[in-house]
Structure 1
């Protein structure tokens, strides 16, 4: 079995190293990851300059690009046989609700799914958490299950893990909730009196409700959300066919 590991926190991230150690127990691991943090790069590709790849050790490479770049280069040029599974993470911080649209961690799993590889995106919901060996053990068990049973077509898993070892014995299958941020763009003045901006933001509303990823995390469960490549709003198609634009 071949497992391709990547992330958006960079090749030196603790979560990636812990994942490599655990997944190596059940598969031949290849690590191809950005050479620096690439958080919130979503599904972006580098198209306007060449990509540089550096061999870190046997079957481990860093790339000066995005997580999606890493997956594409690994799949098309570095690994000679199709990976049996792709795991992206373990991300430092949550990817819940609307976060998935921004996440480089999730985008790597999307790209893996497009390429026909069963894929899992994994995050720990507390950025201060550093005992990644425990969530990595959970991911190993989940990976064994997926390798044995597969995933539905065009479907990947978005996994969020609470920062508690006790949580690793229980999980919920969930749907995406919603998250709204405040102060998304912060304006500052530099020493020369010029404006500059930081894109940041603090979550002010997290819509949970029954079966949501937010509620599962709040209750201390690991959240496993099946996500699909097809974003079509099928409920709206018939209504829109009645539109009279012309």
Structure 2
């Protein structure tokens, strides 16, 4: 990738979240051409949702900083095809998310979707998340993201081949000096979905929540390497989701007979 790339930043925690400011500062270590287009409000867990059939509005917060009343995917589309249409971003960064985006959670992550839509729009897409202890939701440290964010992004930029792959990066919840390294790992496939029904104290209402992590966990996948070994994890993800082996196996498996619609 060229030096001083045009960078577009989004997130799913909202434009006022502390993590996006961390990422903006990290991005400025890489380029002086940085744009921010992010949701006005928290959009955690929306995945690759588009706000279809509803009007969206652009609010300019500062020079090259905009808020959209929509999802992370809405923000990237607006940024790439409108605000930056004359010179599209080379690099789309999504995050830094408040909390890890690992394992099957990448399927519902708005942070991952921001990077994915960036790749679909032709940029190099990278999602970044800062691990935290969810039992103490008021306590999150950004040390690792601040210390190693630019380094990891630059290494992905130097190694990436094309835009059919986007990248999911997680920083461990430890002091920067205690990080054990950067590891390229697969995401954990859980034995079952971690989401389940959780009753509310309000009668007749409930939550959908993660109450416990499904086990067993794969020693070499992102969950264990990030949470137990203090590694920065990098997981390459494909835009092409077709199971090519299954496609090949099913060739010839479906027989087709043209229906006879002749009048009786």
What TM-score do the two structures reach when normalised by structure 1? 0.90
1:168–1:78 CA distance, 2 compared to 1 (3 A): farther
Which residue number corresponds to residue 29 of structure 2? 25
Is the Cα contact below 8 Å between 1:121 and 1:159 reproduced in 2?
A: yes
CA distance, structure 1, for counterparts of residue 6 and residue 187 of structure 2:
29
What TM-score do the two structures reach when normalised by structure 2? 0.84
* Superposed counterparts of 1:13-162, under 5 Å: 13-27=17-31, 28-79=33-84, 80-126=86-132, 127=134, 128=137, 129-162=139-172
| Bigger strand share | 1
1:146–1:76 CA distance, 2 compared to 1 (3 A): same
1:215–1:144 CA distance, 2 compared to 1 (3 A): same
Q: CA deviation digits over 1:151-172, x for unaligned, max 9?
A: 3440011011111123545111
* Structure 2: stretches of 5+ with no match in the other structure: 257-264
Which residue number corresponds to residue 208 of structure 1? 217
Shift of 1:140: 0.8
1:230 to 235, 240, 243: 240
CA distance, structure 2, for counterparts of residue 41 and residue 88 of structure 1:
14
1:78–1:101 CA distance, 2 compared to 1 (3 A): same
Alignment RMSD: 2.1
Is the Cα contact below 8 Å between 2:94 and 2:128 reproduced in 1?
A: yes
1:186 to 194, 198, 202: 198
Which residue number corresponds to residue 196 of structure 1? 205
CA distance, structure 2, for counterparts of residue 64 and residue 150 of structure 1:
32
Determine which structure has more spread, i.e. the larger CA radius of gyration.
Answer: 2
